[in-house]
């Protein structure tokens, strides 16, 4: 794992599980303006029925204002157009954030040529190739890439090993190793080979490379409405129809009301012909859910974008949405829950041996041991017992005994003393072979450590002709800091965490207990994983998992949210619906939170949008009808200056609330993992109650400004 990734995870662990916010640069509003104007085209706007209605209303008002011009009419017309424009701006800003990234990616792709092999047999040094454009490569073609060249397309390394700079995609500057066979054979088009030479079999279709997909995703070009977005759009359309009916049918009622009171002079809003067209349109636009209608697609794009900022690519918005619904998380133990390698945690001497003596022997036997376990022993000896680390070269007479699969131990022979550490059975046999008699004590210690989920390494020595066991090193999986807290959060959110491990059940259980996961799957095979996912899904649960190997592919495909590691095989990347460019399995938890945040933002702004209507009625209804029925003036609770200023203020509020909420739509509402009830209460207060109150204040403030305009009283 590259160090920067560790940095990422510790950063996100530090803030109590809160999803961090993306920032909105005010300049983006300005640079997105041309895009916003382009989106005024009704043929593209029809995808957003609410805003299409606004545009039609704006166009209609323009005609009316031309026929019968007044300051009021033109002010309304201006703000209606601004309403549409602001909605387009929201979408353009959201899309704009991906554009920069797309440009970098395009640059990596541009003008790449490929050296396609014309004949090749595995193992032969001599190859013949032709130079073609990268765009002409077909699936199954073999290409040769040497140091300094760009890999022309996605594929698997079939021969050779090379270090590859993948920073164009991951932003990670440290090179990675790609080699044929195994789980690190996948290479991505657009990345650069730094050393050596590899032969790559292309696995993509032309124009469908990973980079192509990334470009499409970050630009939002391939964005399709997600199921929930479709459903919400239906509800918004229904509300629009309801309010359309309410405003249109108001006309004959208004004419009647006006004409039964013939003595009343015509007002700007109401004449003998009924409510003026401009005012009717204003009322309609104020009532239909423009706020959420304007921001809906921006929320979706921004959600994907928040993932991109965390170096996760979601292949579809559907997957992001599913992430919010996930109720079971399958987490690989290694790398996700634990730090990846077992580490020495304790030296347990047998009776009659000092702990320091054991520590010394353990350290000595591990000085040349380059395995993570061996290194951890040296580190632990230094930390816990103050033993200075010595380079193997310092000990001139030492003869190092490396670990082999046959002996299952390693150690050192120095100055007639032999020290060994290794698997319990192997070391004890070695001691017996040298005439020693390990006491029963050793067996108890070993069993005790195994029983607690740790791994025992026995340390033995032969000194002065006597062989004996000194003690046992307790190696254990170290659970990452803060994991228990995170799993508690998950539980509160109703998400079950299941740890997947190849360990035996005893070890698995001990780690599961320590980490605080809800369940574990020990000695897990890929088939077991698949079966577990199916079983959870049978019960109606949505499952998320991470994976990197080819044998993970079926499970990744089956899971509702399958996050493939970028270091993984092409098969795994194909099967999953998200790719984590940092290859950090812990990110699954963040992905779930981002999914939830996306849904909450959508719900919160919908609620806010509907709640806003109450105040607008209080502004507009008395403005139109108080002339006829003075009693209705009591509804003018905001005491707005005049009918014109009331209507105009409502329309202006309706427009600028869109711009005001763009930052919120971009970064998502504040989200802290907690129970559904608590989340709901908070959001109801902020966006429900707030949605009722805010426009009363906002419209009043705008009115204080607007009333100073000419023609407003």
Partner 1 sequence: MSATTAGVLFIASLIIALALSHRPLGDYMYRVYTGTRHSLVERGVYRLIGVHPGAEQRWAVYARSLLAFSVVSVLALYGLQRLQDRLFLGLGLPPVPDHVAWNTAVSFVTNTNWQAYAGESTMGYLVQMAGLAVQNFVSAAVGMAVAMALVRGFARNRTELLGNFWVDLVRGTLRILLPIAFVAALVLVAGGIVQNFAAPHEVTTLTGGTQLIPGGPVAGQEAIKELGTNGGGFYNVNSAHPFENATGWTNWLEVFLLLVIPFALPRTFGRMVGQLRQGRAILAVMAVIALASVVLTNVFELAGEATVPQAVGAAMEGKEVRFGVPGSATFAAPTTLTSTGAVNSAHDSFTPLGGMMTLFNMMLGEVAPGGTGSGLYGMLILAVITVFVAGLMVGRTPEYLGKKIGAREIKLASLYFLVTPALVLSGTALAMGSPEQRAAMLNSGPHGFSEVLYAFTSVSNNNGSAFGGLTAGTPWYDVALGLCMVLGRFLPIVFVLALAGSLARQAPVPASAGTLPTHRAQFVGMVVGVTIILVALTFLPALALGPLAEGLS
In the set 332, 503, 580, 582, the catalytic residue is: 332
Least Å distance between CB 556 and partner 1? Answer: 22
- Ordered DSSP codes for 553-609: HHHHHHSSEEEEETTS-HHHHHHSSEEETT--TTHHHHHHHHHHHHHHHHHHHHHHH
Query: Is residue 592 within 8 Å of 544, Cβ to Cβ?
Result: yes
Least Å distance between CB 586 and partner 1? Answer: 20
Residue placing its CB nearer to partner 1 in the complex, 505 or 688: 688
Crossing angle of helices 690-706 and 643-667, rounded to 10°: 130
Residue placing its CB nearer to partner 1 in the complex, 46 or 256: 256
Dihedrals φ, ψ of 103, to 5°? -65, -45
The rounded distance, in Å, linking the Cα atoms of 475 and 181 is: 31
Least Å distance between CB 334 and partner 1? Answer: 27
Residue placing its CB nearer to partner 1 in the complex, 191 or 593: 593
C-beta neighbour count of 140 within 10 angstroms: 9
3-state secondary structure of 241: helix
Residue placing its CB nearer to partner 1 in the complex, 409 or 669: 669
Query: Is residue 194 within 8 Å of 69, Cβ to Cβ?
Result: no
Query: DSSP strand E in 453-492: where?
Result: 455-463, 466-479
Least Å distance between CB 687 and partner 1? Answer: 7
Greatest Cα-to-Cα distance within the chain, rounded to the nearest angstrom: 125
Least Å distance between CB 648 and partner 1? Answer: 19
Cα-based distances in Å from 198 to 16, 178, 476: 44, 9, 38
Least Å distance between CB 73 and partner 1? Answer: 21
Least Å distance between CB 595 and partner 1? Answer: 8
Least Å distance between CB 187 and partner 1? Answer: 37
The rounded distance, in Å, linking the Cα atoms of 432 and 470 is: 13
Query: DSSP strand E in 292-378: where?
Result: 312-314, 328-332, 338-349
Confirm whether 332 is a catalytic residue: yes
Please enumerate in sequence order all residues whose Cβ is within 8 A of that of 156, keeping only pairs 6 or more positions apart, or say none.
180, 185, 186, 187, 200, 201, 203, 569, 570
Residue placing its CB nearer to partner 1 in the complex, 103 or 231: 231
Residue placing its CB nearer to partner 1 in the complex, 150 or 254: 254
The rounded distance, in Å, linking the Cα atoms of 177 and 162 is: 6
The rounded distance, in Å, linking the Cα atoms of 259 and 276 is: 15
Residue placing its CB nearer to partner 1 in the complex, 449 or 517: 517
Least Å distance between CB 616 and partner 1? Answer: 9
Least Å distance between CB 493 and partner 1? Answer: 5
**Owner of token pair 């907690």:** 674
Strands laid side by side in the 543-547 sheet: 312-314, 578-580, 561-565, 543-547, 328-332, 496-500, 519-521
Dihedrals φ, ψ of 467, to 5°? -105, 135
Which of 671, 657, 682 has the alpha carbon at shortest distance from 15? 671
Written as six digits, the tokens of 359 are 């520590």
Residue 314 CA from chain centroid, whole number: 8
Residue placing its CB nearer to partner 1 in the complex, 63 or 231: 231
Residue placing its CB nearer to partner 1 in the complex, 71 or 689: 689
Please enumerate in sequence order all residues whose Cβ is within 8 A of that of 226, keeping only pairs 6 or more positions apart, or say none.
300, 316, 317, 318, 320, 321
Residue placing its CB nearer to partner 1 in the complex, 414 or 684: 684
Least Å distance between CB 633 and partner 1? Answer: 8
Residue placing its CB nearer to partner 1 in the complex, 148 or 539: 539
Which of 372, 362, 382 has the alpha carbon at shortest distance from 341? 372
Query: Is residue 565 within 8 Å of 546, Cβ to Cβ?
Result: yes
Residue placing its CB nearer to partner 1 in the complex, 90 or 605: 605
C-beta neighbour count of 556 within 10 angstroms: 28
Least Å distance between CB 621 and partner 1? Answer: 5
Least Å distance between CB 84 and partner 1? Answer: 22
3-state secondary structure of 547: strand
3-state secondary structure of 190: coil
Dihedral angle over CA of 285, 288, 291, 295, nearest 10: -110
Residue placing its CB nearer to partner 1 in the complex, 69 or 631: 631
Cα-based distances in Å from 170 to 336, 585, 645: 19, 15, 53
DSSP structural state of residue 523: S
DSSP structural state of residue 684: I
Looking at the DSSP bridge assignments, the partners of residue 116 are 130, 143
Dihedrals φ, ψ of 511, to 5°? -70, -40
Query: DSSP strand E in 120-240: where?
Result: 128-133, 142-146, 155-159, 161-165, 176-179, 186-187, 192-195, 197-202
Q: Active-site residues: which are they?
A: 332
């Amino acid at each position: 794992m590259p160090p920067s990734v560790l940095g990422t995870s510790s950063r996100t662990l530090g803030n109590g599980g809160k999803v961090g916010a993306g920032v909105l640069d005010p300049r983006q509003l300005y640079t997105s303006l041309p895009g916003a104007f382009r989106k005024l085209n009704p043929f593209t706007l029809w995808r957003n029925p609410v805003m299409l209605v606004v545009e039609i209303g704006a166009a209609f008002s323009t005609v009316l204002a031309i026929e019968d011009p007044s300051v009021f009419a033109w002010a309304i017309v201006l703000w209606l157009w601004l309403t549409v424009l602001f909605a387009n701006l929201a979408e353009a800003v959201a899309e704009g954030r991906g554009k920069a990234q797309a440009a970098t990616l395009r640059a990596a792709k541009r003008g790449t040529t490929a050296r396609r092999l014309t004949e090749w047999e595995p193992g032969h040094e001599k190859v013949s190739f032709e130079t073609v454009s990268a765009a002409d490569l077909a699936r199954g073609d073999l290409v040769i890439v040497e140091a300094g060249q760009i890999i022309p397309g996605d594929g698997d390394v079939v021969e050779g090993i090379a270090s590859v700079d993948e920073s164009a995609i991951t932003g990670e500057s440290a090179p990675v190793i790609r080699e044929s066979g195994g789980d690190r054979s996948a290479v991505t088009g657009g990345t650069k080979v730094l050393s050596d030479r590899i032969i790559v079999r292309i696995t993509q279709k032309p124009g469908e490379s990973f980079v192509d997909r990334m470009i499409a995703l970050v630009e939002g070009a391939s964005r399709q409405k997600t199921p929930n977005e479709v459903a919400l759009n239906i509800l918004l359309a229904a509300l629009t129809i309801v309010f359309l009916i309410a405003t249109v049918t108001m006309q004959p009622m208004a004419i009647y009301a006006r004409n039964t009171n013939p003595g009343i002079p015509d007002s700007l809003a109401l004449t003998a012909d009924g409510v003026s067209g401009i005012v009717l349109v204003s009322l309609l636009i104020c009532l239909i859910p423009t706020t959420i209608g304007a921001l809906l697609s921006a929320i979706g794009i921004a959600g994907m974008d928040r993932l991109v900022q965390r170096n996760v690519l979601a292949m579809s918005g559907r997957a992001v949405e599913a992430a919010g619904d996930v109720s079971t998380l399958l987490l690989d133990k290694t790398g996700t829950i634990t730090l990846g390698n077992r580490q020495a945690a304790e030296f347990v001497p047998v009776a009659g041996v000092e702990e320091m003596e054991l520590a010394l022997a353990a350290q000595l036997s591990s000085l040349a041991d380059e395995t993570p376990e061996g290194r951890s022993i040296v580190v632990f000896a230094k930390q816990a017992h103050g033993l200075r680390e010595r380079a193997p070269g310092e000990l001139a007479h030492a003869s190092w005994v490396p670990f082999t699969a046959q002996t299952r131990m390693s150690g050192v022979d120095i100055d007639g003393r032999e020290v060994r550490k290794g698997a319990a059975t192997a070391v004890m046999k070695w001691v017996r072979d040298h005439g020693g008699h390990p006491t029963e004590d050793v067996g108890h210690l070993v069993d005790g450590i195994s029983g607690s989920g740790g791994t025992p390494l026995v340390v033995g020595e032969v000194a002065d002709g006597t062989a004996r066991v000194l003690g046992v090193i307790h190696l254990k999986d170290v659970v990452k800091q803060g994991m228990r807290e995170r799993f508690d959060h998950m539980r509160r959110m109703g998400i079950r965490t299941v740890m997947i491990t190849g360990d035996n059940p005893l070890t698995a259980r001990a780690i599961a207990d320590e980490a605080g996961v809800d369940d574990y799957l020990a000695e897990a095979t890929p088939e077991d994983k698949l079966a577990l996912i199916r079983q959870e899904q049978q019960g109606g649960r949505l499952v998320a998992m991470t994976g990197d190997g080819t044998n993970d592919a079926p499970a990744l495909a089956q899971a509702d949210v399958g996050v493939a590691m970028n270091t993984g095989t092409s098969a795994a990347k194909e099967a999953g619906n998200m790719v984590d460019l940092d290859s950090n399995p812990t990110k699954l938890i963040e992905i779930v939170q981002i999914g939830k945040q996306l849904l909450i933002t959508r719900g919160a702004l919908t609620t806010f949008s509907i709640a806003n209507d109450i105040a607008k009625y209080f502004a507009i209804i008395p403005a139109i009808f108080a002339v006829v029925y003075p009693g209705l003036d009591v509804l003018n609770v905001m005491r707005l200056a005049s009918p014109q200023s009331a209507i105009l203020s409502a329309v202006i509020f309706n427009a600028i609330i869109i711009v005001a909420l763009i930052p919120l739509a971009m970064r998502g509402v504040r989200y802290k993992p907690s129970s559904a009830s608590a989340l709901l209460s908070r959001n109801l207060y902020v966006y429900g109650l707030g949605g009722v109150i805010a426009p009363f204040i906002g419209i009043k403030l705008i009115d204080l400004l607007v009333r100073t305009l000419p023609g407003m009283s």
